[in-house]
Amino acid sequence: MALPTPLPPELVELITARFKLLSEPMRIRILDQLREGEQSVGGLAEVLDTSQQNVSKHLQALYGGGAVSRRKEGNTVYYGIADESLMAMCEAVCDGVEQRITELSQIVTRV
């Protein structure tokens, strides 16, 4: 999708909301774990070595922002990735970081 120039204020607000959604490191860690498939709050808390309360707080934000989906099976709620574009955005940022590290490494090598 080609972005309009200039960006309409409404679109700027939506873009900003997406970046804010990913502004917490724990949310990135949760999404990273969910790339492997659906997981429960307890399962995520265990693998991320944090409290269920902390995971729940971040999952609520991710769910509210449309990043994750949830389904109930018995007494357990399972979460999964609902918006793959967020993962693509994370991959693009990782690629940019990797490129920047390579550039800085080359500069240091020359000095």
pLDDT one-digit tens code per residue, 48-57? 999 999 999 9
Comparing 48 with 100, the larger pLDDT belongs to 48
- 39, 79 in Cβ contact below 8 A? yes
Q: Is the predicted pLDDT of residue 107 greater than 90, yes or no?
A: no
Top-tier CATH class for 12-82:
mainly alpha
Q: Report the predicted TM-score, pTM, of the whole model to 2 decimal places.
A: 0.85
Q: Is the predicted pLDDT of residue 24 greater than 80, yes or no?
A: yes
Lowest-confidence pick of 3-12, 45-54, 64-73: 3-12
Instruction: Return the pLDDT at 4.
Output: 85
Neighbours of 53 (CB within 10 A): 9
The strand pairing partners of 78, in sequence order, are 40, 71
Pairing status of strand 39-40 against strand 68-73: unpaired
Instruction: Return the pLDDT at 3.
Output: 80
Instruction: Return the pLDDT at 88.
Output: 86
